[in-house]
């Protein structure tokens, strides 16, 4: 049995706490929010996961020292915009070699750093890994079969985390491509906003399929330019995560996109969803990375214009459709005329 602390009391962190407890591990949940800890202590249920009960022996704390000291693994499950400040709070209590696995998805806007990069910068003494893939908290908490991937630089770290999480309903693969995993998980949220916008405009399955297909092309184009492996974007944290996020109503990014497509502003949509919409924070960062690595991201570019420049969504779709004619497979050979 391992001692695991989940950092963050949101729905994803709680779903993983339930999973890890069922696997026989000792679980502590830390949150910076007193109201969140009080809710979990008294109700033993998260309001966003109705019916998913938390065992009586799961501990809840507001104290960083209590949360970190002696933990075999820290699961960093705060929203991506809070990763840096949370890591800084934890750093004084993390011992050299202590393992941390990031499960949030997002790119920091002003630094263009991924979650693992932020954590490594703030807690350089830790061994940092990532866990990502098509995995809505609502389904993981209920024990619905799910497959995911853990990325780490060292095989031993990845396999240790794989063994802690894996069971008959939660299959975990391993990969050394930490950067590719994080880019796939972050950029798919921006494409999911586009898919939701198309739904809000009343478009159909053809449009959704086009956005998913061309969206993963954009993600892989940028990801490989940055050093990620192409195979990663064909896998669970690439096309797999993109499909589920574009298709499911569990997806906060898709739900926010639907509201924007129906005419609401970005701020109105985020307020109605009542959860952090990670794609909004990653959208600007994606365009900055596109400029830095000189790659074209037409879908993500139009999402930025809708979100931050007030461009009408239907006009953005029309411009995507009327772009210059292209060949789909650029290195394919034609027969001689």
pLDDT tens digit sequence for 146-199? 999 999 999 999 999 999 999 999 999 999 999 999 999 999 999 999 999 999
Residue 268: inside a domain, yes or no?
A: yes
284 shares a domain with 241: yes
Q: In this structure, are 37 and 167 located in the same domain?
A: yes
Active site residues: 188
pLDDT over 90 (residue 316)? yes
Domain with 100, as residue range(s), is 3-176
pLDDT for the residue numbered 122: 98
Compute the mean pLDDT over every residue in the chain, rounded to the nearest whole number. Answer: 95
Least confident of 39-48, 91-100, 271-280, 284-293: 271-280
Res 328 pLDDT > 90 = no
CA–CA gap between residue 282 and residue 257 (Å, rounded) = 14
162 and 186 share one domain: no
Q: Which helix (H) or strand (E) holds 176?
A: none
pLDDT (tens digit per residue) in 201-255: 999 999 999 999 999 999 999 999 999 999 999 999 999 999 999 999 899 999 9
Whether 92 and 166 share a structural domain: yes
Which strand ranges, in their side-by-side order, compose the sheet holding 170-175? Answer: 59-61, 26-30, 3-7, 73-76, 99-102, 127-132, 146-151, 170-175
Question: Could you tell me if 107 and 234 lie in one domain?
Answer: no
Whether residues 141 and 234 share a domain: the answer is: no
Question: Does pLDDT of 334 surpass 90?
Answer: no
Q: Tokens for 303?
A: 């999402």
pLDDT tens per residue, range 47-103: 999 999 999 999 999 999 999 999 999 999 999 999 999 999 999 999 999 999 999
pTM of the model: 0.94
Whether residues 63 and 202 share a domain: the answer is no
DSSP assignment string, 91-109: GGGPPTT-EEEE----B-T
> pLDDT confidence of 36, banded at 50, 70, 90?
very high
Final residue before a domain boundary, out of 125, 151, 176: 176
Work out the percent of the chain whose per-residue pLDDT is above 70.
100
The yes-or-no verdict on residue 35 having pLDDT over 80 is: yes
Residue 281 clears pLDDT 90, i.e. is over it: no
Q: How many domains does the chain contain in total?
A: 2
Same domain, 66 and 167: yes
Residues whose CB is less than 8 angstroms from the CB of residue 328 and which lie 6 or more positions away in sequence, other chains included: none
Q: Is the pLDDT of residue 299 over 90?
A: yes
Last residue of a domain, one of 176, 206, 241: 176
Same domain, 54 and 43: yes
Does residue 337 or residue 151 have the better pLDDT? 151
pLDDT for res 197: 95
Assess whether 198 and 288 both reside in one domain: yes
Residue 273 to residue 267: CA distance in whole angstroms:
10
**What percent of the chain clears pLDDT 90, i.e. is strictly above it?**
88
Q: Are residues 10 and 154 in the same domain?
A: yes
Mean pLDDT for the stretch of residues 120-144: 97
Contact between 64 and 30 under an 8 Å Cβ cutoff? The reply is yes
């Amino acid at each position: 049995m391992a001692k695991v602390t989940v950092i963050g009391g949101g729905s994803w962190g709680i779903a993983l706490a339930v999973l890890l407890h069922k696997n026989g591990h000792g679980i502590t949940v830390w949150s910076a929010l007193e109201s969140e800890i009080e809710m979990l202590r008294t109700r033993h249920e998260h309001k966003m996961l109705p019916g998913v009960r938390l065992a009586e022996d799961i501990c809840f704390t507001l104290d960083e020292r209590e949360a970190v000291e002696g933990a075999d693994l820290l699961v960093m499950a705060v929203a991506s915009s809070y990763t840096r400040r949370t890591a800084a709070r934890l750093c004084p209590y993390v011992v050299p070699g202590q393992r941390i696995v990031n499960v949030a998805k997002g790119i920091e806007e002003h630094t263009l750093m991924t979650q693992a990069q932020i954590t490594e910068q703030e807690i350089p003494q830790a061994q940092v890994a990532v866990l990502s893939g098509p995995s809505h908290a609502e389904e993981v908490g209920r024990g619905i079969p799910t497959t995911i991937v853990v990325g780490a630089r060292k095989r031993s770290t990845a396999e240790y985390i794989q063994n802690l999480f894996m069971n008959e309903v939660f299959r975990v693969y391993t990969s050394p491509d930490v950067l590719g995993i994080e880019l796939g998980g972050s950029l798919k949220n921006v494409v999911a906003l586009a898919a939701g916008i198309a739904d809000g405009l009343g478009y159909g399955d053809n449009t959704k399929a086009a956005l998913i297909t061309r969206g993963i092309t954009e993600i892989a184009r940028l990801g490989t330019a940055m050093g990620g492996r192409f195979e990663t974007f064909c896998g669970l944290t690439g096309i797999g995560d993109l499909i589920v996020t574009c298709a499911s109503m569990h997806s906060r990014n898709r739900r926010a996109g639907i509201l924007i497509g129906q005419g609401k502003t970005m701020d109105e949509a985020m307020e109605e969803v009542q959860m952090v919409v990670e794609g909004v924070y990653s959208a600007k960062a994606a365009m900055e990375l596109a400029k830095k690595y000189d790659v074209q991201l037409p879908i993500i570019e139009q999402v930025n214009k809708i979100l931050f420049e007030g461009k009408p969504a239907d006009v953005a779709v029309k411009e995507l459709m009327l772009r210059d004619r292209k060949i789909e497979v650029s290195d394919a050979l034609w027969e001689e005329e």
